[in-house]
Amino acid sequence: MISSFASKTLFICFIISTMTCFVALATDNNPLQDFCVADANSPVLVNGLVCKDPKVVTENDFFTSGLNIAGDTSKNLVGSNVTTVNVARIPGLNTLGISLVRIDFAPWGINAPHTHPRATEILTVIKGTLRVGFVTSNTENRHITKVLNEGDVFVFPEGLIHYQQNIGHDNAVVIAALSSQNPGVITIANAVFGANPDISADILAKAFQLNKNTVKQLQARF
């Protein structure tokens, strides 16, 4: 017969293991084999991408080049350009839970407030000086911010809204690694004011405590 102490212990273990399970599912799944190179030609839709036959996998499935080339920061109003190296560029990243970006900044350029629904980000400054920050969730909305110089490293926790700004007089370059093969990006201004079709101006006016005309002006810009 199980004592009440033992049954309580079992119950607590069950709760903990369930919670651990949720934590593990919050990020990319663990691989179940050495690799699962994405098969770009497969019509099958799965969570992630279907594996290519390992026999036809080559070194080039794990390779890309050109990250020495700066993104063009003059093509948009924010003055930055993100070059993405995710599973779409390196098929071998499929199931490995990792990817990276190069971000170029014009002087005073920003990477606008955004969030990655599936990844934590760790950023290294290669060149320049940046102001970076993130905001914690609604219990506090605490703004954690810091100025970074060459060689400095900063972490943006999974899901939290964050940004970077080049505060130097020259171009800046960073490399950031992300804990997903496909982190996703939600740029806050674009998602809220540029939703297609529009989120009703009534809703946004109340949410942002603005008048409807201001909301419509913002919507016209995104």
Ligand X SMILES: *[C@@H]1O[C@H](CO)[C@@H](O)[C@H](O)[C@H]1NC(C)=O
Beta partners for residue 100, in sequence order: 85, 177
Q: What is the DSSP string of 128-179?
A: S-EEEEEE--TTT--EEEEEE-TT-EEEE-TT-EEEEEE-SSS-EEEEEEES
Angle at alpha carbon of residue 142, lines to 207 and 150, rounded to 5°: 115
- Using alpha carbons, list the distances in angstroms from residue 32 to 94, 95, 152: 12, 9, 35
Nearest approach in angstroms of CB 175 to ligand X is 16
Q: Which residue is nearest to ligand X (CB)?
A: 75
Candidate segments 11-19, 20-28, 75-83, 117-125, binder of ligand X by CB under 6 A = 75-83
Q: Are 177 and 119 in contact (CB under 8 A)?
A: no
Binding site listing: 111, 114, 116, 121, 162
Q: Are 79 and 105 in contact (CB under 8 A)?
A: yes
- Contact residue for ligand X among 28, 38, 81, 181 (CB under 6 A): 81
Candidate segments 36-44, 72-80, 122-130, 202-210, binder of ligand X by CB under 6 A = 72-80
How many CB atoms neighbour CB 214 within 10 A? Answer: 14
Residue 72 interacts with ligand X (CB under 6 A)?
Answer: yes
How many CB atoms neighbour CB 69 within 10 A? Answer: 10
Residue 64 interacts with ligand X (CB under 6 A)?
Answer: no
Candidate segments 5-13, 27-35, 68-76, 181-189, binder of ligand X by CB under 6 A = 68-76
Binding site listing for oxalate: 111, 116, 121
In the shown chain, the binding pattern of residues 20 to 59 toward ligand X, with x for contact by CB under 6 A and - for none, equals: ----------------------------------------
Residue 142 interacts with ligand X (CB under 6 A)?
Answer: no
| Residues in contact with ligand X by the rule CB under 6 A | 71-72, 75-76, 81
